[in-house]
């Protein structure tokens, strides 16, 4: 089991075991019989001899509760088993066979679920007679639809998985697949629901007993005890409270056990508060930065930014000492593979990471003012008006249940204090400035009624609405159609020029970067590995990783069928990065030193061009080899 069950689980399990044990061994326990009257004075409070006191007839309440557990737990376990025995095969059948079988079973299921179950149980027990068997059968049958639904869902999600499809493709028999592959995977959700189901059945039996429609007196049941106890509530509240408490604890325990089991397969975490400032993060091993950024009057300056995630596997150094400077009117491209920390860098600069488990350190200076120390309210003022953001996927960037108009007008109204009418006019103007036809109509639309390209234009319009100084564009065209990509990039570029903004453009597309960026920052494993003016960085690459990225770009001059020069290996595990230079395991030039000592950022001949590599003079060989192969390839074919 990958996650811990927690102490609540064990206490609950222990309580269930205790109640179950007491119920089974009731005859052996040193208790008066449940129906023996006047074992003590009637309605006597709790005492050593009678821990739960005695009821109106002087019967021992503890004994009655213990014997009552026999019925309650018996019905709970029995009903669950019955529901499982009938519901599980139906669910597996529906989930595994699909099509008509599924439709028929689920149609019946939906109708069965349309009955208010307790009322129905009540009526059936009333007509069939109130006995243990009848209660058990009714509650068991009423549990069947829920079981069918659960097992079907679980089966469905596994029936399509690779390993089941593989087993099918290998010609395994259906029964064998069901038994060997699916059953073990359905077991955990089923076990979880079994406990929840017992809680439900115990409550349902209690309800029937409370109404006098379960097992008849003199056999005690919890619900019946509570009902009887009501009569003497004024003088002897413990008579009603004791079974109530035991019943509550038992139901709670079943629920806790079921819930913890379910939680094993379910991981989720979040928060809305901004990340807390880390109490001085220890600098990563070997993160000596030889070039220290000077504090200046630059528009945006990021200094030694670190963002670490505290996870179950250890501390993930997603951003580890990144620095850059951005002047007005310039475009800085942040490049790297997926998982190199580009997106986290942007969110970290803007303070958008969730609070729990995130440590952030370093400075983000906007015209000399450190955003990381601003109180949340002031930071929000800056975020809304001076820094703007566009994300990768326009499908998820807009709220699906609010109109485009509401969303575009919101920053105008909140930050610029516009009135509704004024904001609507401004919003329409914004939309038309990003090339949306019929803006007044689009304002009334919902996001799902627009195409991907249109939606991205809308998010760009929203970003531009308050006249920002810096636009952060996180892969703004990756999710779009190739034909739309160029249009959107041109639009962003034009807007950047018109409004004299600076832009941070995150991209993994080097062709885009070469076309639009003034400066480039290459990230690997959360660190800057090379940085500088675009031209210098592309022409005189000093870091093997940058070279590898450049080699991976297909060129028009490539001959047909030229295999793509893919970057071998995988990005490193940031919770457990390799020692020395993080890129060394994948680097064609790596030598001994690279595996032990991390290279600092050093300055190249071009001013502002920095790189982190011990052997920059080697870089470029691989590209030369490419060229030779290319030439030879062409030549060979020419002959």
Partner 1 sequence: MILLRLVRLLVVLLVVTFLSYVLLNLLPGDPTTQILGLSASEEARAQLRAELSLDQPLTVRYLGWLGGLVTGDLGTSYITSVPVAEALAERLPVTLELLVAAQLIALGLAVPVGVAAARRAGRTLDQVLTTLSFGLLSTPVFVLGVVLILIFAVKLQVLPATGWTPISLDLGWNLTSVLLPAVTLGCGQMAVYARLLRTDLIATLQEDYITLARARGLSPRRILWRHALRPSAISLVTAVGLNLGALIGGTVIIETLFGLPGVGRLIVDSIFSRDYLTVQGGVVLISVGYVLVNFAVDLVYAAVDPRIRHA
Q: Is the preceding omega at residue 218 within 30 degrees of 0, hence cis?
A: yes
**CB of residue 100 to partner 1, shortest distance in Å:** 18
Of 69 and 182, CB closest to partner 1:
69
**CB of residue 473 to partner 1, shortest distance in Å:** 12
Element (H, E) at 529: strand 527-533
Of 150 and 619, CB closest to partner 1:
150
CA distances 273 to 63, 284, 371, 416, 526, Å, are 52, 26, 15, 24, 24
Burial class from Cβ neighbours inside 10 Å (0-12, 13-18, 19+) for residue 120 reads: middle
Q: Residue for token digits 């986290």?
A: 344
**CB of residue 516 to partner 1, shortest distance in Å:** 21
Of 321 and 341, CB closest to partner 1:
341
**CB of residue 184 to partner 1, shortest distance in Å:** 27
Of 129 and 554, CB closest to partner 1:
129
What six digits make up the tokens of 446?
């919902």
**CB of residue 497 to partner 1, shortest distance in Å:** 22
Q: Is residue 549 a contact partner of residue 566, using CB atoms and an 8 Å limit?
A: no
Q: Which of 344, 337, 347, 283 is nearest to 318 (CA)?
A: 344
Of 29 and 217, CB closest to partner 1:
217
Q: Residue for token digits 């959700």?
A: 189
Of 229 and 362, CB closest to partner 1:
229
**CB of residue 102 to partner 1, shortest distance in Å:** 17
**CB of residue 395 to partner 1, shortest distance in Å:** 9
Q: How many CA atoms lie within 13 A of 502 on its CB side?
A: 20
Of 32 and 453, CB closest to partner 1:
453
**CB of residue 65 to partner 1, shortest distance in Å:** 13
The residues pairing with 335 across neighbouring beta strands, listed in sequence order, are: 507, 522
CA atoms 61, 62, 63, 65: torsion sign: positive
- The answer for 129, left when phi > 0, alpha when psi is -120 to 50, beta otherwise, is left
Q: How many CA atoms lie within 13 A of 385 on its CB side?
A: 12
The residues pairing with 294 across neighbouring beta strands, listed in sequence order, are: none
Q: Is the preceding omega at residue 345 within 30 degrees of 0, hence cis?
A: no
| Terminal-to-terminal C-alpha distance of the chain | 64
Of 81 and 118, CB closest to partner 1:
118
């Amino acid at each position: 089991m990958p996650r811990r069950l927690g102490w609540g689980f064990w206490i609950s399990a222990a309580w269930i075991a205790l109640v179950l044990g007491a119920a089974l061994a009731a005859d052996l326990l040193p208790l008066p019989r449940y129906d023996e009257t006047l074992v003590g004075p009637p309605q006597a409070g709790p005492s050593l001899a009678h821990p739960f006191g005695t009821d109106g007839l002087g019967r021992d309440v503890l004994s009655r509760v213990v014997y009552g557990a026999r019925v309650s737990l018996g019905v709970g376990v029995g009903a669950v088993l019955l529901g499982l025995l009938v519901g599980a095969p139906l669910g597996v059948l529906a989930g595994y066979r699909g099509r008509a079988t599924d439709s028929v079973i689920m149609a019946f299921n939906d109708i069965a679920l349309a009955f208010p179950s307790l009322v129905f149980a009540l009526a059936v027990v009333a007509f069939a007679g109130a006995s243990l068997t009848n209660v058990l059968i009714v509650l068991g049958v009423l549990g069947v639809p829920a079981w069918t639904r659960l097992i079907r869902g679980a089966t469905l999600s596994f029936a399509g998985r690779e390993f089941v499809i593989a087993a099918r493709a290998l010609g395994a028999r259906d029964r064998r697949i069901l038994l060997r592959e699916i059953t073990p995977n359905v077991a955990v959700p089923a076990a979880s629901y079994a406990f929840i189901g017992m809680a439900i059945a115990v409550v349902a039996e209690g309800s029937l007993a409370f109404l006098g429609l379960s097992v008849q007196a003199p056999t005690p049941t919890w619900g019946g005890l509570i009902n009887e106890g009501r009569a003497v509530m004024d003088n002897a509240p413990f008579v009603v409270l004791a079974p109530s408490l035991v019943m509550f604890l038992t139901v709670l325990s079943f629920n806790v056990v079921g819930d913890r089991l379910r939680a094993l397969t379910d991981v989720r975490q979040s928060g809305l508060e901004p990340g807390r400032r880390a109490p001085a993060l220890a600098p990563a091993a070997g993160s000596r930065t030889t070039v220290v950024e000077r504090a200046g009057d630059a528009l945006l300056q990021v200094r030694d930014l670190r963002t670490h995630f505290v996870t179950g596997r250890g501390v993930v150094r997603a951003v580890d000492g990144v620095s850059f400077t951005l002047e007005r009117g310039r475009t800085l491209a942040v490049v790297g593979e997926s998982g190199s920390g580009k997106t986290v860098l942007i969110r970290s600069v803007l303070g958008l990471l969730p609070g729990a488990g995130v440590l952030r350190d370093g400075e983000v200076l906007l015209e000399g003012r450190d955003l990381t120390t601003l109180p949340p309210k002031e930071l929000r003022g800056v975020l809304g008006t001076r820094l703007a953001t566009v994300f990768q996927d326009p499908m998820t960037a807009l709220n699906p249940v609010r109109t485009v108009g509401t969303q575009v007008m919101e920053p105008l109204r909140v930050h610029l204090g516009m009135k509704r009418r004024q904001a609507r006019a401004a919003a329409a103007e914004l939309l038309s400035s990003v090339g949306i036809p019929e803006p007044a109509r689009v304002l009334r639309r919902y996001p799902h009624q627009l195409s991907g390209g249109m939606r991205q234009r809308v998010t760009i319009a929203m970003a531009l609405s308050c006249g920002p100084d810096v636009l952060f564009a996180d892969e703004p065209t990756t999710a779009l159609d190739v034909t739309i990509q160029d249009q959107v990039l041109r639009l962003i570029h034009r807007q950047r020029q018109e409004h004299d903004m600076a832009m941070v453009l995150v991209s993994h597309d080097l062709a885009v970067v070469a076309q639009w960026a003034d400066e480039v920052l290459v990230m690997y494993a959360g660190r800057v590995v090379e940085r500088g003016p675009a031209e210098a960085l592309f022409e005189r690459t000093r870091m093997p990783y940058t070279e590898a990225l450049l080699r991976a770009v297909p060129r028009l001059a490539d001959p047909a069928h030229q295999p793509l020069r893919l970057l071998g290996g995988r990005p490193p595990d940031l919770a457990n990065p390799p020692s020395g230079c993080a890129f060394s395991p994948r680097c064609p030039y790596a030598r001994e030193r690279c595996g032990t000592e991390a290279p600092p950022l050093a300055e190249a001949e071009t001013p502002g061009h920095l790189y982190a590599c011990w052997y920059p003079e080697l870089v470029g060989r691989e590209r030369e080899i490419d060229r030779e192969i290319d030439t030879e390839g062409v030549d060979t074919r020419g002959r």
